[in-house]
């Protein structure tokens, strides 16, 4: 193999850190979380412990703090250059990744640890589930079974929200999605008011593929100041998805008000078969066609092992 070929194999726009090296980078945080905090942060069938937070998320928060301080320094220098006093705008973080990979937990943990930063910033969290079209519209368009695909989102509404945030508007009303009812709640909203940091979490946040019939020139990720992709081997994600489905079947699906109550009486084997079928018909094509191709658009990639804990971190070179 020639030296040029070797260089191509070794070249990457990312720096790689294994867990041991990454955890040694934290020199900023000295906080502790109790068991109640951890219980509120992790999702169904998704382990989370103090070590994961301290060894992965504390260094991550430290790194993001560096980006925030540089972001503020650029704004101050720009104000001086333009001789204007542009007010501080929220620092926006995007978090993407597959269904069942643990994006929501990553977002909640990051929201918590970023609030520990020295200046105690106000950290708000928005999920793109709230920007899904209501089931009524999805049904009318014949795409209810494609919920989570790009065409199932009201991208214009999401872009309008992010535009308003980056325009300096301080108060925002965001729609709320119910996983129990599997639909947007028409009478419920989330108030986002004057955040210092805004986390936007969803499978679609790094996608740039336009919806059919549209020619988008602005994308959700254009508004991000930092982006994260939560990654894992597909076989592990499938196992986590099936395990989560079974746990929900035995708990949340038992609620008569649950959209998925129809699965409540499945046997264990039937539950596994149904979860695998849903994954194969819906989540797998969405992952391969729309989500996975966005991985290398992220500034940072968290790579999980089969135990759901992060084993490796990739950080885009600057």
Annotated binding site for ATP: 97-104
Cα–chain center distance at 232 = 14
Joined together, the tokens standing for residue 302 give 């968290």
- Annotated binding site, which residues? 97-104
Which of 203, 180, 202, 281 has the alpha carbon at shortest distance from 238? 281
Residues 6+ apart with CB under 8 A from 97: 103, 106, 203, 229, 230, 231, 291
Distance CA 268, CA 214 (A): 43
DSSP letter string, 34-51:
-HHHHHHHS-TT----HH
Lookup result for tokens 């991000």: 224
Distance CA 208, CA 104 (A): 21
Bridge partners for 264 per DSSP = none
Distance CA 244, CA 231 (A): 17
Find out whether 108 and 46 touch, Cβ atoms under 8 Å: no
Find out whether 127 and 179 touch, Cβ atoms under 8 Å: no
Find out whether 272 and 242 touch, Cβ atoms under 8 Å: yes
Give the gyration radius of the chain's Cα atoms. 20
Bridge partners for 231 per DSSP = 303
Q: Is 238 helix (H, G, I), strand (E, B) or coil?
A: helix
């Amino acid at each position: 193999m020639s030296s040029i070929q070797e260089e191509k194999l070794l070249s990457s726009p990312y720096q790689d850190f294994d867990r041991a090296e990454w955890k040694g980078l934290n020199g900023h945080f000295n906080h502790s979380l109790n068991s109640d905090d951890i219980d509120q942060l992790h999702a169904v069938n998704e382990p989370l412990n103090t070590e994961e937070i301290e060894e992965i998320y504390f260094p991550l928060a430290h790194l993001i703090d560096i980006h925030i301080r540089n972001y503020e320094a650029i704004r101050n220098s720009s104000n001086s250059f333009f001789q204007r006093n542009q007010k501080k705008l929220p620092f926006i973080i995007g978090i993407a990744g597959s269904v069942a990979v643990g994006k929501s937990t990553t977002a909640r943990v990051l929201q918590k640890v970023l609030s520990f930063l020295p200046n105690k910033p106000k950290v708000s969290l928005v999920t793109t589930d709230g920007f899904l079209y209501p089931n009524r519209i999805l049904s009318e368009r014949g795409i209810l079974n494609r919920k989570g695909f790009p065409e199932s989102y009201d991208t214009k509404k999401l872009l309008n929200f992010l535009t308003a945030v980056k325009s300096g508007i301080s108060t925002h009303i965001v729609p709320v999605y119910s996983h129990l009812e599997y639909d947007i709640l028409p009478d419920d909203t989330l108030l986002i008011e004057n955040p210092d940091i805004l986390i936007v979490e969803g499978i679609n946040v790094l996608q740039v593929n336009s919806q059919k019939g549209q020619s988008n020139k602005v994308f959700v990720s254009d508004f991000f100041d930092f982006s994260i992709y939560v990654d894992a081997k597909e076989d592990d994600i499938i196992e986590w998805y099936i395990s989560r489905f079974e746990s929900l079947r035995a708990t949340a699906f038992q609620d008569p008000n649950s959209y998925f109550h129809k699965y409540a009486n499945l046997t264990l084997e039937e539950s596994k078969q149904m979860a695998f079928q849903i994954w194969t018909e819906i989540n797998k094509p969405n992952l391969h066609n729309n989500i996975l191709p966005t991985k290398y658009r992220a500034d940072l990639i968290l790579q999980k092992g089969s135990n759901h804990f992060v084993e490796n971190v990739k950080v885009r070179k600057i």
